[in-house]
Amino acid sequence: MFAGVDIGSASTKAVLMRDSRILSYYILGSGSDFRKSSQEALSEALNRIGATVGDIDRIITTGYGRYITEVGSEAVTEISCGARGVSFLYPEARTIVDIGGQDTKAIRINDKGQVLNFAMNDKCAAGTGRFLERIAVSLGLDLDKMAALSLKSPTITAISSTCTVFAETEVVSRISGGESLESIVRGLHNALAGRIYGLVLRVGVKETVLVCGGGALNAGLVRELRDFIGDVTLPLDVDPRLLPAIGAALIAKERHVS
Amino acid sequence: MSSALEQMTSSGSNAPEVIQGIKTETGKRVMGYFHPIVPEELIYAAGFHPARLYRWYFEEPITVGDSYIQTFLCSYVRSLWDQVLKGKYPYLSGAIIPRACEAVTFLYQTWKRHKPTPFVDYINVPWKRTENAVGFFAQELGRVGKDLGKFAEKEVTEDSLRNAIKVYNKNRELLKKICDLRKAEIPPVSGTEIFDVVMSGFIFDKEKHNELLEQLLTEISQRAQPSKPLARILVSGGCVIDRRVWEMIESTGVSIVVDDVNNGSRSFWYSVEDGAKEPLEALARAYIMVPSAFKTSIEDRFNYVSELISEYKVDGVIFAINRNCESEKFVYPELNKKVKGKTKVPTLNIETDYLVDMAPLRTRVEAFVETLKA
Amino acid sequence: MAEKKQRRERPAFNAEIAASIGKHYKDLQTNKPMAYALMAPDPLIEIAYAAGIQPAFPENYACICAARHASGGYCESAEAYDYSPDICSYCRNHFGYIYAPGEKPPMGGIGEPDLFLLPTVACTHYFKWWDALHEIFGKPLIFLNTPRAMEKEMPSYYLDYAMKEVEQAIADIEKVTGTKITNEKLSEAVRLSDEVTDYWQKILELNKTVPAPMNLSDLSNILFILIVLVGTQEGVDLIKKCYEETKQRVAEGKGILSKEEEKHRILWIDIPLWYRLGMLGYLENHGCVIPISDYTQYIWGTTRMDASKPVEGLARKALGGELNTSVDDQIDKMLKDIEEFHVDGVIALSNRSCRILSVGIPDATRIIREKFGIPTLVLDGDHTDERIFSEAEVMNRIDSFLEMLG
């Protein structure tokens, strides 16, 4: 049995696999203590199938907190793990768009799941999930409600600011100016999708394009992304945040054999 | 007694003290200068101790400087100016600042206006490499030489220039010799160590540095062989003076076998004509070749980089460009295309900045190394 | 404050200049050879006209893209092609345009050049930009390198070097185009250019009048002549019209605002916000006119040229103007002009895209406040990339400034 633990800035994910089958998984908020969250994620995943740590042959950690943990002794970046995980479940994928809370990644892979090229957003919230989260908070809405509003709107109010803070001001201005909330919210999703598209263009779009990470759960964002990129595939049979952890578990298996 | 390498490495963490010490011991005044395009020989020949202007306090937040210079300018210039204003470098008697990028050109102007030192001068650097340009550059160096001579109350003579050139040629030769060792399949010295060695050259007296370099060559020959690196990397950018970046890259198991940065190869990858009849022209002819982005065409830069890639059998290029470094960032897209297209070597682009956490950069570098391994 | 909508009468020459701009972009589609040139005190423009080359100006095109609100999209596209947001938005607008022009680029586009004319006046971007395009398009690059006079006393060999470079550039252009640039043709182009400079300096003097006959937008329009048409008869004819009309308005006491309306005269530092020129109308409605800006006054048309010595004249042109001298020089001029233009307030755009122009702002505004005690306002923004613009934020600052002016 092999484990992959993805310690991200927003959430920690643990996946247990045997014979390339997912046995169980667990997702929880990372909080500020990665050691704690990684330990907890792994224990909960084990509890679900009545197993213990001793049953695991190898653990690989990935994600932002991959070194700040006691659970595994090897770390591999979430880029390589994500590539591996996506390629395993979706062998036709050649471009991965991973929209996380704190960063967004565009990864080009070959038919073996090897990373050919990647790009990540540079030091700015405006291209990440954080952009929507911030504004949702200031509007007093949750992300699901925001997505629903976005999907409802037939029009897009362009939100031009590339700074999350400026965008917030712009939104508030427009609302007090009497503009439609739905159209503005759709504009926000559209602006984020446009910036993500710009990132993807840096690595080149090659079909099929697989969108994963927390952003894939946002139907409003996905709709806008489709307008920019064209056809995209979403992970249907697995939580889209799990792909790097799955990839980590697969790499753990590979390294164990060799 | 600490080894040569230990002495050189430790100088980087308390440079102001070391420079103050040199001033006290030798009685020489300290003349700061910015950028490898400024020929140190000129300063040395005028009887000053040349000290390249780098911020030496690595954890000092920029406060005072922000009221003089906007945040969208390069943090090298901003942090340096902030520290100068705070009186962190009281040993400086002056500065020589070239017309380079906008941030550096502004540094001259604000230095002149606010006068933290009694002397400041500038150099117009040609952006071409023609005979006309060499002639002009030599005239500029002559003018600065006269200004230095006036400030020193002692003329800069052609003989003193020739002597300085001898000392500096020796220094560059030794540095090159040490760097050549990294051509080996298993480089006996790391990129981080070379970083320390080169930076100490901007601190120590040149003759002392030459002694240390000779010692270092012996020390290296007596080392046990390290393990083979996962990959051979070239680091390219403007200035990469944050030691953590070099350490972070090599902690992934790769070796930085060669560089294309201002505080690296661009400071010594050439030689000035020895015993030249016209030493100013000889200096101009050599220094005009420094391949920094602000003055160098993409083609010339690519030729420089591709030669390094093939001589040092580089597996991967990491562009480490500072935020707001306009010149390097402008050159990057076409240069990157050429490097990938013509040399077939994969590349990674990371953005450095003052006082930022290494962890996000580390993710990118590790992911890149993982692709090189595969 | 709510914005009052008011249609104000603008000088008639604006319409003529607009027509000239339209003609210019049509010419770009047909006149050959066509060269990309730069908006700076650029001696290669006169040489180009003398050689029968049609110059095109991607920077001017960026202003138009910004005014038409296309520049945000182009800048975003440029980032997808690895051009960092740290780079000047004039350049990013252009890279976005050449890689992804879209179906209806403004003015029908700016076309592909047959060669590049590169002076090293102004900033380092000029070199980087034309060099990158030279790599992309593979067309010849005419490179004229002149130094920057950082001190009031410029060493004489600066002029020698600049003249040698001008001569080399002429020879290079002759080689590339296969045309001979005779001394007559060159002198004529220099003469026509100098005539434009003469009229321009006279026009600027007229703007010292109270009430000011022209606002920043009018001045910026006339700049088109100084940038694009120097060396042509068309340029002389057009600027003569601007001068005659302005002279007439001054004689009639006609300002952009009436004498009663004009309450404040502002010095604008740095480039106008091309995508938000409506802000000038807002200021006008609050009694503010901008009769002077370092952008309009200190960069172009500052150097007279002697047509009998065209190479020297052109070399001097490349060594003059704000971008080729020092910040000290810029500040000295501003201090003098604040008095001569009866300025009582300053607005500075701290322009993240144009570092060469905005680096002087912290010192300039501090010195102006100390010397004159007048209010100064600093806006943060970008002259072309409208994504880096917070309307609410900027208008808030402007309103506070108007309150300070009283």
SS3 B254: coil
Q: Which residues of B fall within a CB distance of 8 Å from A78?
A: 363
Confidence grade of residue B258 (pLDDT, cut at 50, 70, 90) = very high
Q: What average pLDDT does the segment C223-229 reach?
A: 96
Pinpoint the residues of chain A covered by CATH 3.30.420.40.
Answer: 1-90+239-258, 91-234
CA distance B74 to B80: 10
Instruction: State how far residue B242 is from chain C, nearest Cα, in angstroms.
Output: 20
Q: Which residues of A fall within a CB distance of 8 Å from C273?
A: none
Confidence grade of residue B25 (pLDDT, cut at 50, 70, 90) = very high
Nearest to A82 by CA among A102, A60, A67: A60
Q: What average pLDDT does the segment A140-153 reach?
A: 94
Cross-strand pairs, C184:
none
Side-chain-side CA neighbours of C282 within 13 Å: the count stands at 15
Q: What average pLDDT does the segment A208-215 reach?
A: 95
Q: Do C128 and B124 touch (CB under 8 A)?
A: no
Buried b (16+ CB within 10 A) or exposed e, A56-92: bebbbbbbbbbebbebbeebbbbbbbbbbbbbbbbee
Q: Do A166 and C76 touch (CB under 8 A)?
A: no
Residue A169 has pLDDT above 90, yes or no: no
Nearest to C89 by CA among C101, C73, C105: C73
Nearest to C357 by CA among C283, C298, C279, C276: C298
Tell me the Cα Rg of chain C: 21
Nearest to C136 by CA among B298, B240, B149: B298
What's the confidence (pLDDT) of residue A161? Answer: 72
Closest Cβ–Cβ partner in C72, C80, C393 for A160: C72
Tell me if chain C has a CB within 8 Å of the CB of B103. yes
Instruction: State how far residue C108 is from chain B, nearest Cα, in angstroms.
Output: 27
Tell me C237's DSSP state.
H
DSSP B156-199: --HHHHHHHHHHHHHHHHHHHHHHHGGGSSS-SS-HHHHHHHHH
Tell me if chain B has a CB within 8 Å of the CB of A118. yes
Residue C3 has pLDDT above 70, yes or no: no
* Contact call for residues A170 and A182 (beta carbons, < 8 A): no
Nearest to C243 by CA among C294, C272, C205, C209: C205
CA distance A255 to B11: 43
Q: What average pLDDT does the segment A144-170 reach?
A: 87
Phi-psi sector, C69: left (phi>0), alpha (psi -120 to 50), beta: left
Which of A:100-129 have CB within 8 Å of C? none
Q: What average pLDDT does the segment B28-35 reach?
A: 96
Chains contacting A (3+ CB pairs below 8 angstroms): B, C
Tokens 């002429």: give the residue: C170
What's the confidence (pLDDT) of residue B340? Answer: 97
Residue C391 has pLDDT above 50, yes or no: yes
CA distance B172 to B271: 7
* Contact call for residues B371 and A114 (beta carbons, < 8 A): yes
Residue A159 has pLDDT above 90, yes or no: no
Q: Which tokens sit at C311? A: 């190479």
Find the chain B residues whose C-beta atoms sit closer than 8 A to any C-beta of A.
323, 351, 353, 356, 359-360, 363-364, 366-367, 370-371, 374
Q: Do C392 and A169 touch (CB under 8 A)?
A: yes
Instruction: State how far residue A207 is from chain C, nearest Cα, in angstroms.
Output: 18
Q: Is C43 exposed, middle or buried (0-12, 13-18, 19+ CB in 10 A)?
A: buried
Query: Nearest residue on chain C to A173, judged by CA atoms?
Result: C392
What's the confidence (pLDDT) of residue A172? Answer: 87
CA distance A245 to B10: 42
Query: Nearest residue on chain B to C352, judged by CA atoms?
Result: B72
Q: Which residues of C fall within a CB distance of 8 Å from B141?
A: none
* Start-end of H helices in chain A: 34-48, 78-89, 129-139, 143-152, 164-176, 181-203, 219-229, 243-257
Q: Which residues of A fall within a CB distance of 8 Å from B356?
A: 123
Nearest to A107 by CA among A243, A237, A226, A214: A243
Nearest to C299 by CA among C265, C333, C267: C333
Tell me B150's DSSP state.
H
CA distance C379 to A21: 58
Q: Which residues of B fall within a CB distance of 8 Å from A115?
A: 367, 370-371, 374
Closest Cβ–Cβ partner in B323, B351, B374 for A114: B374
Closest Cβ–Cβ partner in C87, C145, C362 for B126: C145
Which of C:343-362 have CB within 8 Å of B? 350, 352, 355-356, 358-362
What's the confidence (pLDDT) of residue C1? Answer: 47
* Start-end of H helices in C215-322: 216-228, 233-251, 278-285, 294-297, 310-319
Mutation site for B-interface testing, chosen from C322, C363, C370 by largest number of B Cβ within 10 Å: C363
Tell me C231's DSSP state.
T
Q: Which residues of A fall within a CB distance of 8 Å from C391?
A: 170, 173
- Global pTM reads 0.91
User: C-alpha distances in angstroms, A15 versus A6, A35, A256, B138, C334?
Assistant: 9, 17, 17, 67, 67
Region A1-90+239-258: CATH code: 3.30.420.40
With a pLDDT cut of 70, the percent of chain C lying above it is 98
CA distance C307 to C304: 9
Residue B283 has pLDDT above 50, yes or no: yes
Tell me if chain B has a CB within 8 Å of the CB of A115. yes
The larger pLDDT score, comparing residue B186 to residue C7, is at B186
User: C-alpha distances in angstroms, B54 versus A240, B51, B259, B327, C238?
Assistant: 47, 9, 18, 19, 52
Confidence grade of residue A125 (pLDDT, cut at 50, 70, 90) = low
Instruction: Please provide residue C404's backbone torsions phi and psi, each rounded to the nearest 5 degrees.
Output: -65, -35
Q: Do B68 and C132 touch (CB under 8 A)?
A: no
Which of C:27-66 have CB within 8 Å of B? none
Q: Do B367 and A80 touch (CB under 8 A)?
A: yes
Q: What average pLDDT does the segment B76-84 reach?
A: 95
**Helix (H) / strand (E) containing C21:** helix C13-30
Closest Cβ–Cβ partner in A76, A78, A123 for B351: A123
What's the confidence (pLDDT) of residue A122? Answer: 64
Instruction: Give the strands of the sheet with B49-52, arranged side by side.
Output: B49-52, B30-33, B92-99, B119-124
SS3 B22: helix
The domain over range C13-405 is classified in CATH as 3.40.50.11900: yes
* Close Cβ partners of C7 (under 8 Å, ≥ 6 residues apart): none
* Contact call for residues B345 and C143 (beta carbons, < 8 A): no
Q: Which residues of C fall within a CB distance of 8 Å from A194?
A: 76
Give the pLDDT confidence of C268-315 residue by residue, as tens digits: 999 999 999 999 999 999 999 999 999 999 999 999 999 999 999 999
Give the pLDDT confidence of B124-140 residue by residue, as tens digits: 999 999 999 999 999 99
Q: Which residues of A fall within a CB distance of 8 Å from B353?
A: 123
Q: Most distant CA pair in chain B: distance in Å? A: 63
What's the confidence (pLDDT) of residue C103? Answer: 94
Q: Do B325 and C86 touch (CB under 8 A)?
A: yes
Mutation site for B-interface testing, chosen from C129, C150, C357, C385 by largest number of B Cβ within 10 Å: C150
Q: Most distant CA pair in chain C: distance in Å? A: 62
CA distance B151 to B173: 31
* Contact call for residues A4 and A249 (beta carbons, < 8 A): yes
Chains contacting B (3+ CB pairs below 8 angstroms): A, C
Cross-strand pairs, B49:
B30
Confidence grade of residue C4 (pLDDT, cut at 50, 70, 90) = low
CA distance C390 to C84: 21
Instruction: State how far residue C355 is from chain B, nearest Cα, in angstroms.
Output: 6
Q: Do A198 and C77 touch (CB under 8 A)?
A: yes
Give the pLDDT confidence of A17-44 residue by residue, as tens digits: 999 899 999 999 999 999 999 999 999 9
Superfamily designation of domain A91-234: ATPase, nucleotide binding domain (3.30.420.40)
Mean pLDDT across chain B: 96
CA distance C277 to C289: 13
Give the pLDDT confidence of C185-200 residue by residue, as tens digits: 999 999 999 999 999 9
Q: Which residues of B fall within a CB distance of 8 Å from C328?
A: 109, 112-113
* Contact call for residues B285 and B278 (beta carbons, < 8 A): no
Q: Do C80 and A202 touch (CB under 8 A)?
A: yes
Mean pLDDT across chain C: 93
Tell me if chain C has a CB within 8 Å of the CB of B325. yes
Tell me B28's DSSP state.
P
Tell me B15's DSSP state.
H
Query: Nearest residue on chain C to B72, judged by CA atoms?
Result: C352
Q: Which residues of C fall within a CB distance of 8 Å from A197?
A: 80
Residues counted in chain B = 374
Tell me B229's DSSP state.
P
Q: Do A170 and C391 touch (CB under 8 A)?
A: yes
Q: Where are the domains of chain C?
A: 13-405
* Contact call for residues C115 and C54 (beta carbons, < 8 A): no
What's the confidence (pLDDT) of residue A164? Answer: 80
Q: Which residues of A fall within a CB distance of 8 Å from B329?
A: none
CB pairs under 8 A between B and C: 123
Q: Which residues of A fall within a CB distance of 8 Å from B323?
A: 123
Q: Do A166 and C393 touch (CB under 8 A)?
A: yes
* Contact call for residues B235 and B259 (beta carbons, < 8 A): yes
Whether the link from the prior residue into C140 is cis, omega within 30° of 0, is no
Residues counted in chain A = 258
Residue C102 has pLDDT above 60, yes or no: yes
* Contact call for residues B314 and B234 (beta carbons, < 8 A): yes
Instruction: State how far residue B370 is from chain A, nearest Cα, in angstroms.
Output: 7
Closest Cβ–Cβ partner in B356, B363, B371 for A115: B371
Instruction: State how far residue B128 is from chain A, nearest Cα, in angstroms.
Output: 32
